[in-house]
Every structure is written in C-alpha cells, then in structure tokens.
Structure 1
Amino acid sequence: MPVDDVVVGDVLLVRPAEIVPVDGILLTENGTFDESSLTGESMPVTRTQGEEVLSGAINGSRAIRIRALRTGADSQYQQIVALVHSAESSHAPIVRLADRFAIPFTAVALVLAGTAWAISGDSTRFAEVLVLATPCPLLIAAPVAFLGGLSRAAKSGVIMKSGAVVEQIARVRSAAFDKTGTLTQGRPELVDVRPAAGFDAEEILQLAASAEQYSSHVLADGIRRAAAARGLVLHAAEEASETATNGVSATIGGRTVVVGKPAYVASLAPDTVRATLGVGEAAAYMAVDGGFAGILVLADAARPEAAAVVSWLRVHEVERVVMLTGDVHSTAESVGTQIGIDEVHAELLPPEKVRLASELQPRPVLMVGDGVNDAPVLAAADIGIAMGAKGATAAGDAADVVILVDSLAKVVDAIAIGRHTLRVALTAIWIGIGLSVGLMIVAMTGVIPAVVGALVQELVDLATILYALRALSGPPSGLRPDAVSHTAPNPSSTGSAQPPGSASAATGIP
C-alpha cells in the first residue's frame, strides 16, 4: 500500500532487507536494523519488542511487524527531507563571477567614449570607442571556462551541478566530513582472527566463511570477502540454517559449524571465551562440533585514502577540518586520530549537524557525506558533496556535487579542478578587459575606424575564448594515487592483522 495511506496504529509487515516505511513500535520479539544512513552508527543495531524503529532504517534478515507510531509525513525520513528544504531556502544567492565585472567595465567604457567625444567634438568618436568595448570576455569566455571545468570534473567521476558550484568550491576554507561511509568504508572489514587452541587462523576463517554463505548479515559479508581476498575455497554445506539476529549454523564436511553472537555460540559451546575488543570493533564468535573455535574481529576501518585527503586539504589553504557524525564518541575519536582530524563532533542528529555547519568558520564551508541523515547538512553547507557511488538518493539530491566513484580522493580532485577553472576564468576575463580598454584608449585618438574596430574586437573575443578552453585540461591535484595503500588486512599465522587506513598508511602528499 502507498506509505501515505498508513495511519497511526496500523500493523505493518516489513520483509527482510526492506526499508522501514514509517516510525513504529516493534511488535516482533527482536530485529536487527542498519541505521547507518540515519544515525551514522556503522554497525547493525538490535531492537527488542516495544522499542521504536525509525523510518529509513533497513531491516535485517528477519521479517518483522511494527505498529505505526507516526504517519509517513511525520516520520523521521520525512522530517529529514523537510529539513533539507529548509536548509536550501536559507542559502544566500551566489553572485556570478561575470556580474562583478559587468558594471565597472560598462562604466569605464562609457567614460572613455564620452571623454573622446568631448575632446574631439565628433560624435562618431563615441561609437568608435564603444565598438571596441566587447562584453564577450564576460558573456562567453567565463561561461566557457566554467563549462570546461564541469566537463573535466565529469570525466573524473565528479558531477558539479552548476558553474556557481565550481566558483564556490575553488574558494573553500573549511571542510566537514561525515564518518560512516565517507571517512570509513561503510562496511565492516576483517581485522583480526583469534583462533582457539587446536585451530589455526586460516582454518577457522575458511569454515566461518563457508557457513556465512547462508547468512545475509553485514558481518557475514565481511567474513566472506576476507576469505575470498585470501584465496580460500569455500565449501558447500550439507545443511544450513540461520537464527535471526543470533547467527548461522551449518554442517560442513561432517562438522557442525556455528558463527554468531557470543551468547548464542556459548549456549552451544560452554567453553566460549569473551573477547576484549577495541573501539569500533565487532566480533563474530565461532564453535565447531560443540567446542569453542575462535573469534573473528571486524571493524569499519578508515578509507585508505582518508588520511592523505585530510593532509592535502590542510596543505592547500583549507584552514579547518572537522568530523560531524551520528556515531558514538569513542569510535569517532578513534577514526579521527587515524586520519588526522582532531576536531570531532559525535552523536549528532541531523538538526545538530546543520547548526554546527552553519556556525563553522571560516567560510565557504564544504560538507562531505553519503547517508540520508547527511542530506540536510549537505543542503545547508556552502558546498555539499555526496558520495553517490552506493546510492543515497536524498543526499545526492541535496548536494551541489556528487562523486560517482567510491573514493574520497575525488574530493581533492573536485577542489583542484574548481581552483584551476576559476583561475582560467579570471585570467580570460582580465585578458579580455585589458585588451578592450587598451584598444579603446587607442580608439580615442581616432586611428581605429568603427568598421576596423568591429573586426578587432572579434579577435579579442577569439583570444579570450581560446584561453578559457584551457579549463578542459589542467595540472593534477597532487594527491598521488600510487602512494595510497589499498591492501586488505591479512591475518598472519598468529591471527593478527593490521586494519586498513591505519596510522602507518602513506599520506601521499607531494
């Protein structure tokens, strides 16, 4: 049924992997939800019967029932959309680059033409001077430069929505970043394998990944990817079942393998030992044939290029870099320390992000995010950049720039292209104005007839337009892609691993 037809009190069935349509009270015993796009919490959260579930959250692997607490128009997702519209309407209009030169240039041209007429007493002198007052550097050359910049950005996977955005991003002085899915990968990666006595790291990873083939849980996906990266062959199960929110059980090669939450695994393997986890880490426990087999530790690690991007911004005149996230303080601080952001604001709701972005100085302020919860602050910032490779329609609609490639390094490319384009546009304008004013001064003497002047001003137009086309190409950003490590974490024989994006990653700064 259409979401607008839902009324308070309706009982709704939400199938596995579906988006929760309205805010509601959970009627099912429990359920797991991905709320990362709403709150910034990187790991799935478990809700129990009677707790509130927010619209926009993605249901896990179990069908659940909720009782509608609010209508679609009043639910969390629609409140975020309303906040986006409010933020967009509060934007000050951007004065176009060419408009800043138009009135002074016109005034100078009229003064020169009037002076020539007054001195010579010949009214045709007025026309001879004005013929050379070509407006094409403003009307054509600057837009050509901006279109060239937009084209160059699009070829590199960055969509800028207007020439005004190019001008704004070139002048950025503060940058704010969301955490989950922006500074981090947005999907948990295996960072450590801790086998129990009698097992080795490769063996339990292979068994766990084989069992997790039959699970849709986000941690299961991370375990499978880690096994594939190490070239481990996954075995088919003779029998497999998943207990929603708890874990998966499979019979593989005659052995019973269980992977899941500690309480669930401990109920089947009493010798299970709880792990000590670091900030932002989650663990999948494992039992084989009723005995504790080990622990797989996962974390949503920082992007390998994140530290290099932050360092590049600081070197290139961005005076302030901050993190605005809905995730918990400890996890946010840990990621900030890894990548070099020392100003971290955590556990924020969308209105709080908007307020902090509006108060951020110096300006213009750039905001980078990817989730639904980032849409309002992307709209409120002077320049909003959405990481659009994984969807996030609301964020992409609200942003001024959409990055189509799943790489934070494209933020650097966008700024570098914007700055080069603005330099080319300004130079083209000054070339045109300089040539025009010089020729007008010569024309005041009467040596350039009107017909000749008309032809000469066409040459001035051509020169400025050809120069403006330099925006189609330009110097690289300076962020060396070969200096950014993309190596996946690899458990050693002792079961240890270094998370990607750790402090030892190269910065890639020239």
Structure 2
Amino acid sequence: MSEVRLFTLARRYPLVGAILLVGLLVAVLVLSGQDAAAQGFASIFALAVALYRAGSMVKDLFRGRWGIDLLAITAIGATVVVGEYIAALVIVLMLTGGEALEDYAQGRATRELTDLLKRSPRNAHRVEPSGDLVDIAVEDVNPGDVLLVKPAETVPVDGELLSGAGSFDESALTGESLPVERSRGGSVLSGTVNGPAAVRIKATATAKESQYSQIVALVQEAAASRAPTVRLADRYAIPFTVVAFAMAGVAWFISGDPVRFVEVLVVATPCPLLIAAPVAFLAGTSRAAKAGVIIKNAGTLEQLSKVRTAVFDKTGTLTAGKPTLVAVRRAGSDSPSEETLLQLAASAERFSSHVFATSVMASAAERGLPLLPSTAATEHATNGVAARVGYHDVVVGKAAFVREQTTGFEQSELAGGQLAIYVGVDGRYAGTLIMSDPLRVNAVDTLEKLRDLGVRESLLLTGDAESTARSIAAQAGMETVLAECLPGDKVRAVAGLKTRPVMMVGDGVNDAPVLAAADVGIAMGARGATAASESADVVILLDDLSKVAVAVDVGQYTLRIARTSIWTGILLSLVLMVFASWGFIVPVAGALLQELVDLATILNALRALGKKQPRGSRPEGAGPSSARVRPPAQNAGRARG
C-alpha cells in the first residue's frame, strides 16, 4: 500500500520526485568519492529547473506579477556559481516542495466545498403510473414526476413531500446538524439526505433548476476565483525583492565574499507571499460554506471585511416575509363583501411574484375561498397587478398604483408594523387588506453584531409605505429610512451613499438591481429567489438574518489571517536575511530554514478555517434577542416618495 501511495505522490508531484532522486544519486556520488561528478550533476539539474521556472516567471511578468521567482532563480544560479551545489538542490526542493505543501493546504481548505460537490445526486427512482419503480438519471427528472427516496439516500431534485412525514438531514445545505422534520405537502430540497424511512416526493423542479445544483454552481465559482489580496501579496514581492537584493549586495560589498550574497538570497526566497493569501482565502470561503453562507468569489471576502454601511430591504429580510391577514376593510357599504373582496384580490394575485401575493392567496384558502378564473393579467413590477377576474376588472397593490386607476380612493390608517394592500374593482376603490409582517426575532441582535464588527451606518430601503417602514426601522433601532422606493430609486440611493463599502441585503427579484449595484450584495436565497441570488456576491442558504453578521465576521477573520500570514513570512525572512548578511547562516542551513518559514506560513493561513463559532451567529428562532428594542428616534430618517 505504501509503495502505491509513493507512486501516486510521485506522479502528482513529479518535480519533487525528481529532486529526491537526484539528491539520492548525488549522495551516492559523494560517498563514493566522486565530488566533482556530484557537483556537476547537481549543478546541471538545478540550472535546468531554474531555466524551467524562468519560463513561468516570464509568463507572470506579462500578468503583472513579478519578484516571486526572480529571487529563487537568482539564488539557484548564485549557489551554483560559488560551488554551493547542495544548497542549490535544497532551494529547488524548497520551491517544488512549497508547491506541494500549497496544494495540500488548498485541499484541506476546500474540503467542505469538495465534499459538497461529491454529494451531488446522480440517479433517481421514478414511480410509474403502474406502480413500477424505474431508475433514471437525475437529468431526466421532470416537474410532476413522483419519486421514491430510499432511507439514507440524497434527495435528487426539489420536491413536495407526498408521504405523511419525513426526516431529512439538511447539513450539506445549511450547516444545521440536527435532522429537520417535514410533513405532507412540505418542501424538500435536493441535496438533503433522507432519514430512516423511505418517502415519496413530487418533483417541483428539474435537476438543473433545483437548489443543490445552484449551490454547486456557486461553490465552483467561489473556488475558481482569485482574491485582490492575493494580488496585493504579489505586489509585496516588488519591494521585498528590492530589499533582498540590496541587503545581499551590501553584505557582499562589506565582506568581500560572494558567498555572503548567496547566503542572503537563499533565505530571501518569498514563498510565503505566493502561498499565504490563496490558502487563507480558500479556507475562509470553505468556513463560510460550512455555516450556510456561499461567498461567490474570494474578492468579496476582502470587501466584507471593510463594510461600513449596511442597507436592508424590509419584506423577507428584516421581517420574516410571511405576512398574515389582520383585517379586510371595505371602502363603503356599496363595496363587495369582505369575502368577495379577498377572493377577487387573491384571484388577481396569482399572477404576481411578490411575497405578499402568496400571503393573500393563503389567506383566501384559509377561509375556504376558491380562486376565480382570471384573464388579461399584467404585473407592474413592485407596484401591483391588474387582471380580469370573472366579470370584474381588478387592481391590487400599493396605494399610488391603485389610486391612479380608481376613483374614490382613501388612504388607510395603519397601526405600527401593519401594511396595506389596496384593491380596486371596476375602476372604483373597493377596500384594503390589512396585513402584518413583524420584525424577525433576531434582527436587533444582528444589527448589534454588525455595529460591533465596525458597520457604522444602517439603512432601511423599501418600496413599502413610509409609516410601515418607520415602524419596523424604529423596532430594529435603525435611524435612516427610505420608503416607497422603486428599484431605480434604490440603485440611486445606494450609489449616493458616502460611507463605503456598502453592503445591501435583500431577497426578492426586485432587489436584484440594487444587489448588483452595492459593493457587496447579499441575497437571502432560502426561498430560491434566483434573480436576486445571481446578482448577489453572497447567498445565504438559510432563512436566517444572523448569517449576515456571520458573513462579515468570516470576511474580517479571513483577511486578518491572510495579512498576518503574509507579514509573518516577510518578517521571518527579513530576520534570517539579517543573520545571513553577517555570515551566521550557511547556504544549506538557510535553505532549510526558509522551508520551515513556508510551513509556518501555511499552517497559520489554515487558521482561517476557524474552529470557533463565528460572531453574530444567533440563529432564527433561537429565542428573543437580549438586545433591547429601541424606541423611535427623533426625526428618524427621511422618506422618498
């Protein structure tokens, strides 16, 4: 088994295998008294590797990266010239071994990400109308297919549970280790693992459109990205290279010994600059994924660490996004009855993608009101919907939208936290549906955590009425409010903010433009708002606002580790260079010491994986926040019509 493993490692890292073989041959030649042959063989091999790396260095020059290989190549050439051929071989081993160590560290850092990819479902068991069970590829599953999921199997596509009850492990998607119980009619996400009993589900999406495939695509994008801090590390190489050559030149000039020049350069090869930042950022991305936060590109981690303004949408973000019907107010005695008004509104809302539409339809269903046939429906994004319902022309939506299309309109008085959905029938204002969508239980605590993490300003940005927005903002302790905003207004508001970087948090399709416009866009993607998720830089897989603070904390922690690793490598190399310039470190010892510096840098960068619970991680439903809900501030914010 060990021989097979060695063969596999040799194939994976051929240069490492070659240098070890050359080192063995050189040792045999030295022991047999053939020093000249050993020196010649080692020197030729070291120079060949230096020429090979020179080709890579030239390519890097065209990419704007330089200094990393220049010192190493110069050190190899200099050691060969002064006859320190053993040191030359150690430097070659240091370069090739450093790459192998980096590869191992990247594998460790991306373990959670690769595990996610490996668990991608491949097959499904389709139940035919005859009752027969047919195994098909997951790509062949269509919405409406009835599937059997056996015990401990991965759910292949998003679906609706047909069995009476089921238990599912959602840890691969959400990081939640405890099984989640679902009842008949509940949604089941692809990528979750079924419990001890076989269940039947009805597919609601294809494999490509299912939650797990979308997560896999986001993970692949995150793993393939290259962070600005990595480029920043490359830029450190320029002054580092200048300092190294200057110190080596001065040491040679003062001592008059060219070997002193070699001794300084040997300990100056800055592999930590090449290794530290990529490993730290991969580790940070992996850590976030394990917490249910997908960070699409590594550069976003740096932006998250510097966020100073947080902007929140209201519905589905600061609030739970599950409004409940409080009352139905008729406009007058000649208006339709409460049941008819709700039925007409729900029948029109079936054509809307807004979260309120689902709540209105659910309220009608709870009262046993069937939806009426509807035609000629048109949704006016963020404003409302107009449709022909039975023999009536119905408009449902915001006050301004309904006011423009009806006569006799009256604004409804609302209590704190309530919101109004206005209804017009046949050109006349007919009444209002009063809904309530309370603040999330952990919203105040999340905002407190963000302030602790250095976020100076928080802003509520919503298309809802000003009175409702102010009430929610006051409960959350937010001082600035922009209400009754259209998508274009939101984009302009975010662009005009002075304290940057700006983080925008939203969940709906209408949030997509402003998420893309912000420095960091965070989508609450648990409900599958595809447009918002695609426009965002960060997608939160759980319906849990506290993960916003977790994302910021992971960004800060990762950047701190990356910078610490870079400077640790630089400072250790500078200390070794000072000792080498005085002749205290011979070339062979210097090369070995530099390898230890590389190892220390990698181990420090892997700390970004983080074992501690990220700050700001109080989950939704974990109980009320200990933070006090603030009273409304004086002159709390400004509104935009």
Smaller-chain TM-score range?
Answer: 0.5 to 0.7
Corresponding position of 1:411: 548
1:94 Cα deviation from its structure 2 partner: 5.0
Correspondences of 1:388-427 after superposition (within 5 Å): 388-427=525-564
**2:569 corresponds to 1:432:** yes
Opposite residue 627 of structure 2, the aligned amino acid is: T
Opposite residue 447 of structure 1, the aligned amino acid is: F
Note if contact 2:453-2:553 (Cα within 8 Å) is conserved in structure 1.
no
Opposite residue 273 of structure 2, the aligned amino acid is: L
Corresponding position of 2:94: none
Q: Could you tell me which of 113, 124, 129 is aligned with 2:259? A: 124
Distance 1:306 1:147 in 2: 29
Of 170-179 and 347-356, the range deviating more from structure 2: 347-356
**2:452 corresponds to 1:329:** no
Distance 1:443 1:469 in 2: 29
Distance 2:627 2:559 in 1: 27
1:158 Cα deviation from its structure 2 partner: 0.8
1:377 Cα deviation from its structure 2 partner: 2.2
**2:288 corresponds to 1:149:** no
Distance 2:448 2:536 in 1: 24
Note if contact 2:469-2:483 (Cα within 8 Å) is conserved in structure 1.
yes
1:449 Cα deviation from its structure 2 partner: 2.3
Corresponding position of 1:471: 608
Note if contact 1:187-1:222 (Cα within 8 Å) is conserved in structure 2.
yes
Corresponding position of 2:146: none
**Structure-2 change in CA distance of 1:284 and 1:354 (3 Å):** closer
Secondary structure of 2:612 counterpart:
coil
Secondary structure of 2:503 counterpart:
strand
Distance 2:435 2:625 in 1: 19
Opposite residue 134 of structure 1, the aligned amino acid is: T
Secondary structure of 1:479 counterpart:
coil
Distance 2:237 2:268 in 1: 11
Corresponding position of 2:513: 376
Distance 2:413 2:294 in 1: 44
Distance 1:414 1:319 in 2: 16
Q: Could you tell me which of 603, 627, 641 is aligned with 1:507? A: 627
Opposite residue 507 of structure 1, the aligned amino acid is: A
Distance 1:439 1:188 in 2: 65
Secondary structure of 1:408 counterpart:
coil
- Flag structure 1 segments of 5+ consecutive residues without an equivalent: 1-92, 195-207, 229-233, 249-259, 262-274, 286-294, 488-503
1:222 Cα deviation from its structure 2 partner: 4.7
Secondary structure of 1:304 counterpart:
coil
Distance 1:311 1:133 in 2: 45
RMSD (Å), alpha carbons: 4.0
Secondary structure of 1:337 counterpart:
helix
Corresponding position of 1:187: 322
Distance 2:239 2:616 in 1: 39
Opposite residue 478 of structure 2, the aligned amino acid is: I
1:115 Cα deviation from its structure 2 partner: 1.2
* Cα distance per residue 1:26-81 (max 9 Å; x no partner): xxxxxxxxxxxxxxxxxxxxxxxxxxxxxxxxxxxxxxxxxxxxxxxxxxxxxxxx
Correspondences of 1:229-240 after superposition (within 5 Å): none
Secondary structure of 2:531 counterpart:
helix
**2:340 corresponds to 1:340:** no
Secondary structure of 1:417 counterpart:
helix
Correspondences of 1:430-469 after superposition (within 5 Å): 430-469=567-606
Higher share of residues assigned helix: 2
Correspondences of 1:45-444 after superposition (within 5 Å): 94=228, 96-189=231-324, 222=359, 242=372, 277-278=414-415, 280-282=418-420, 298-444=435-581
- Flag structure 2 segments of 5+ consecutive residues without an equivalent: 1-226, 330-341, 375-385, 390-395, 398-411, 424-431, 630-641
**Structure-2 change in CA distance of 1:299 and 1:119 (3 Å):** same
* Cα distance per residue 1:398-448 (max 9 Å; x no partner): 221111111111101101111111111111112111111101111112232
**Structure-2 change in CA distance of 1:192 and 1:437 (3 Å):** farther
Of structures 1 and 2, the one with the larger relative CO (CA 8 A, separation 6+) is 1
Note if contact 1:368-1:385 (Cα within 8 Å) is conserved in structure 2.
yes
Secondary structure of 2:455 counterpart:
coil
Distance 2:421 2:500 in 1: 42
- With the length of structure 2 as denominator, give the TM-score of the two structures: 0.48
Secondary structure of 2:576 counterpart:
helix
Opposite residue 378 of structure 1, the aligned amino acid is: L
Secondary structure of 2:317 counterpart:
helix
Note if contact 1:420-1:474 (Cα within 8 Å) is conserved in structure 2.
no
* Percent of paired sites with the same residue: 53
Secondary structure of 1:353 counterpart:
helix
Distance 2:515 2:556 in 1: 21
Distance 2:438 2:447 in 1: 16
Note if contact 1:371-1:392 (Cα within 8 Å) is conserved in structure 2.
yes
Note if contact 2:463-2:485 (Cα within 8 Å) is conserved in structure 1.
yes
Note if contact 2:521-2:538 (Cα within 8 Å) is conserved in structure 1.
yes
**Structure-2 change in CA distance of 1:241 and 1:97 (3 Å):** closer
Note if contact 2:473-2:481 (Cα within 8 Å) is conserved in structure 1.
yes
Opposite residue 407 of structure 1, the aligned amino acid is: D
Distance 2:306 2:290 in 1: 22
Note if contact 1:416-1:476 (Cα within 8 Å) is conserved in structure 2.
no
Distance 2:261 2:570 in 1: 18
Secondary structure of 2:505 counterpart:
strand
Distance 1:276 1:319 in 2: 34
**Structure-2 change in CA distance of 1:190 and 1:475 (3 Å):** farther
Opposite residue 257 of structure 2, the aligned amino acid is: D
Note if contact 1:481-1:508 (Cα within 8 Å) is conserved in structure 2.
no
* Cα distance per residue 1:452-505 (max 9 Å; x no partner): 2222111110011011111111433333627x6568xxxxxxxxxxxxxxxx86
Secondary structure of 2:574 counterpart:
helix
Opposite residue 445 of structure 1, the aligned amino acid is: W
Secondary structure of 2:526 counterpart:
coil
1:176 Cα deviation from its structure 2 partner: 1.0
Secondary structure of 2:435 counterpart:
strand
Secondary structure of 1:481 counterpart:
coil
Distance 2:582 2:312 in 1: 59
1:352 Cα deviation from its structure 2 partner: 2.6
**Structure-2 change in CA distance of 1:176 and 1:449 (3 Å):** same
**Structure-2 change in CA distance of 1:331 and 1:508 (3 Å):** closer
Note if contact 1:354-1:377 (Cα within 8 Å) is conserved in structure 2.
yes
Distance 1:348 1:240 in 2: 33
Structure of higher CA gyration radius: 2
1:242 Cα deviation from its structure 2 partner: 4.0
Note if contact 1:189-1:301 (Cα within 8 Å) is conserved in structure 2.
no
Opposite residue 380 of structure 1, the aligned amino acid is: A
Corresponding position of 1:52: none
Distance 2:625 2:324 in 1: 17
Secondary structure of 2:556 counterpart:
helix
- In the alignment of these two chains, the number of paired residues is 348
1:386 Cα deviation from its structure 2 partner: 1.4
- With the length of structure 1 as denominator, give the TM-score of the two structures: 0.59
